[in-house]
Amino acid sequence: MEKEDITLTPKEIKEDKKINLRPKAITDFIGQENLKLNLDTFIKSSVKTKNNLDHIILYGPPGLGKTTLANIIAHEKNVNIHSTSGPAFSKKGDLVTLLSNLADGDILFIDEIHRLSPIIEESLYPAMEDFKCDYIIGAGPSARVMQISIEKFTLIGATTRLGLLSRPLRDRFGIPLQLEFYNPESLKEILILNAKKLNVDIEQMAAFEIAKRSRGTPRIAIRLLKRILDFSIVQNSQGINMDIVLNSLKQMRIDSEGLDEMDRKYLKCISNDYNGGPVGVETLSAALLEQRDIIEDVIEPYLMQKGLVQRTSRGRIVSRKGMNHIKSN
Ligand code: ADP
């Protein structure tokens, strides 16, 4: 469900695993200070009291570290993590099998949890609340519903927007944690750490320039770093300097605010074709040939945070700042 340019390619996933770019301990997770402080307290309390860690819902735009955090929680608690995603469940039986295989304290991570089917979602409720699970034996008139007890586990759900979850599911998470866009200083730190892991020298100023143009998102920062590294290798440069960064970003058409072609297409569509707005999201989706989900969850959050676009009850409006940005880029 992610915009093409921030989805990891199979090659990148392999690279990520090989070089292990994902932080493991909570202390290696950069930024999100308030979230980390709270989370650290809840984990420590559960370890100290030997009580089960309450279910956690992580929400925020893609690429901000939800999956990474789920793995860090498992690492900090020293338990196993079983990862799956909402669309991966087709049968109720899949969920029962998964739940009955969990050991005491284990973590079940469900990415895109808002995409669970209603039947699966309902069968999760007794598991989350009472650590019990219903299953059906047999078929037709002789079918019987049996209930089994499962080990106490922590469900960690991830979603792009909390509002996408049904109310009953949302209410069953004791710990809601919102991930926010990163500031350039934190992204710079992430870039320098990743450059070290990739064994490449990077100038401080160059790292900061990439950070400023990464849409507040670590996944995009890391991706840009890798692509700029490609440019520096081909140009036989010793490491990554400001010149390489500026030229590579220009070549990849990433502008001064870190916006790419799609962002600019979105802004231009509203400002040029619809006189600055308001325009409804369905109209934009049709005009840009882009799914509504992508527009709402991937493109718009950053543009709104930057004050380039506003969502109103009548539709989207490009701000004066947005208009000026289009004119100068
Ligand atoms: P999400 O699940 O929210 O889409 P991920 O957890 O997959 O995001 O993170 C995307 C990439 O960014 C991963 O390679 C991860 O290692 C890196 N990353 C995310 N947050 C951080 C952070 N706070 N510190 C260091 N690296 C991070």
Residue 2: its pLDDT value, please? 41
316 DSSP β-pair partners: 279, 311
CATH code for the domain in which residue 300 is found = 1.10.10.10
Residue 7 lies in a domain: no
Residue 53 lies in a domain: yes
Residue 21 lies in a domain: no
Please say whether the beta carbons of 85 and 108 come within 8 A.
Answer: no
Residue 190 belongs to domain spanning: 182-251
CA 274–ligand 1 middle distance (angstroms): 36
Tens digits of residue pLDDT in 233-287: 999 988 999 999 999 999 999 999 999 999 999 999 999 999 999 999 999 999 9
Tens digits of residue pLDDT in 103-118: 999 999 999 999 999 9
CA 326–ligand 1 middle distance (angstroms): 30
Same domain, 132 and 197: no
| Averaged pLDDT score across all residues of the chain | 91
CB of 24 sitting under 6 A from ligand 1: no
Number of domains in the chain: 3
CATH code for the domain in which residue 237 is found = 1.10.8.60
Q: Whose CA is nearest to atom 4 of ligand 1?
A: 63
Known active-site residue 27: no
Residue 163 lies in a domain: yes
Which of 138, 154, 178 is at the close of a domain? 178
Tell me which of 172, 213, 219, 316 is the catalytic residue. Answer: 219
Same domain, 213 and 298: no
Same domain, 131 and 153: yes
Helix (H) or strand (E) holding 204: helix 204-212
Contacts of 298-302 spanning 24+ positions with Cβ under 8 A: 298/2, 298/3, 298/6, 298/61, 298/62, 299/3, 299/262, 299/263, 299/266, 300/266, 301/61, 301/181, 302/61, 302/181, 302/215, 302/216, 302/217, 302/263
